[in-house]
Chain A
Amino acid sequence: MDTSSAGIQEPFDLIRLSLNERVFVKLRGDRELTGVLHAYDGHMNLIMSAVEETIMIVDPAEGGQGSVNYVKRKMDMLFVRGDGVILVSPPSRT
C-alpha cells in the first residue's frame, strides 16, 4: 500500500485504504483487537473478520503497583461499535 500517492486527505482515508487488510484496533476499557477490516462508517463502527481479541487482566499486587496480564480470544466475524474505539492502526509495513 503506497500511502504517499494514494492521497490521504482526511482521517477516514487511512482506514479506507486498510479495507481487506489486517488492522489493529485499540478500544476503551481493557481491550485490543486485530482483524481483517471489511466495513466501517462515520461513527467508526467496524466489521472485521478473523479477529483476535486481547483482554487485559490486572492482578492486584499487594502494595499498589498491579501487574498486567492478558487473555486472548478469537472470533470469526465481529461488529465493533464505534464509540468504544480509541484508535485504528493500518497493517504494519515492517
Chain B
Amino acid sequence: MLIFSVFKTLTDQTVIVELKNDLLITGVLKSVDQFLNIRLDNIQVSDEARHPHMIAVKNCFIRGSVVRYVQIPADAVDTQLLEDATRREALNQTKR
C-alpha cells in the first residue's frame, strides 16, 4: 500500500518507465492502481527506430508486472517521510 500511495502523489509528474524488455517510455503519470499498473500520457519512447510499433502511440497503459524500474523526479519525494512511513508499515506488518 505504501508504494501505491507514493505513486499516487506522483500523479501529473513526468516519469521514465523501464520495462523488463528494455523498452524505455517517458510520459506524464496519469494514474496508477493497487497492482501498480500505470497510465502514461504524451509518451516518448527512447530508440523509436527499434520499436517502430510505438511511433503512433500517444498514451498508454502499462501492466505493473512488466515494469523493471520507474525513474521518478527526486524533488517530488521527501525521503525522510518515506523512511518513517516504511518503518511504520514494517511495524504494522510484524504486529499482525
Contacts and interface: CB of A to CB of B under 8 A. Distances in A.
Contacts of B54: none
Interface string A4-15: 000000101000
Contacts, number: 74
B68 A84 contact: yes
Given A16-B87, A76-B74, A79-B70, A41 B3 contact: yes
Given A10-B94, A49-B74, A38 B82 contact: yes
B interface: dominant SS: helix
Nearest to A50: B74
Interface string A73-94: 0011111110110000000000
A41 B2 contact: yes
B15 to A, nearest CB: 9
B20 interface: yes
Interface residues of B, number: 29
Interface string B29-73: 000000010000000000000000000000000001101111111
Contacts of A42: 93
Contacts of A79: 3, 6-7, 69-72
Given A47-B3, A79-B3, 10 more contacts: A12-B93, A41-B3, A41-B89, A45-B3, A47-B6, A75-B71, A79-B7, A79-B71, A81-B36, A83-B65
Interface of A: 10, 12, 16, 19-20, 27, 29, 36, 38-42, 45, 47, 49, 75-81, 83-84
